[in-house]
Amino acid sequence: MLYSFISVLRASVMVTTLRRYRLALLWAIYFGVLFGSRRFVELNMVRHMIWQFPALITGGFRLGKYLPACWCLNFERYDQLGLSGMVFFIATTSIWMIPLAIDLAVQIPFIDALKFISLWLTGLILSQSWQRAGDAVQAFFLISWAMMVVTIGMLYQETDIRLCNSYLTNEQADTGTGLMMTASMLVVIWFFRLFHRLHQQEKSAV
């Protein structure tokens, strides 16, 4: 609903200063809703990691489309081939998957706020970097990130000890499965889109 709001806004007029403030208000609402629901969402590990984390990252990613073009160009010097953005993405997601970090986020609101901002920023930066990276660089980062997430997912599934004091072992196992599935799905979707695009290119070349 929020996303259709934003796309309607975008489609109608160019981004003026007034619109930018309205956009900021919408993002304030987005953060407000996510932060306000944190107690409910973070009660369950699956909701926390499989729903909240992607919601934050894709939120940031969507905003990336509406950034002014001059910002994007300015950052290109620091983000050639999209490397910086992707390294930042991998670093941030790995840190927030450490069980200790999850526990801290659940128990301390300040750390949770840090988590929100960092994951959202990661999505935002990734939206720029992803376009700058060619297929090869995208493939490399996506596959290595997915392998890391699948490994972490397997660890969560197989370990006997309770990794997070805030969550039960069966939630932990379910989250592990969820992480593995999310990562594999993203890789599959990426490859599907790649083959689709190559197929279209072949067809138009013929």
Interacting residues toward other proteins by CB under 8 A = 77-81, 83-84, 87-88, 91-92, 94-95, 98-101, 103-104, 107, 161-168, 170
**Nearest distance from residue 186's CB to other proteins, in Å?**
21
Nearest residue (CB) to other proteins, 150 versus 163 = 163
Nearest residue (CB) to other proteins, 6 versus 122 = 122
Is 13 within 8 Å of 135 (Cβ atoms)? Answer: no
Residue 168 main-chain phi, psi, to 5 deg = -85, 165
Nearest residue (CB) to other proteins, 28 versus 87 = 87
**Nearest distance from residue 69's CB to other proteins, in Å?**
20
b/e sequence 127-160, b meaning 16+ C-beta within 10 Å: bbbbebbeeebbeebbeebbeebbebbeebbeee
Please tell me the distance from the alpha carbon of residue 32 to that of residue 48, in angstroms, as a whole number.
16
**Nearest distance from residue 151's CB to other proteins, in Å?**
14
Please tell me the distance from the alpha carbon of residue 94 to that of residue 81, in angstroms, as a whole number.
21
* Helices 2-12 + 17-36 axis angle, to 10: 180
**Nearest distance from residue 198's CB to other proteins, in Å?**
28
* Helices 99-107 + 83-96 axis angle, to 10: 70
Nearest residue (CB) to other proteins, 99 versus 176 = 99
| 3 state SS of 108 | coil
Nearest residue (CB) to other proteins, 33 versus 168 = 168
**Nearest distance from residue 117's CB to other proteins, in Å?**
14
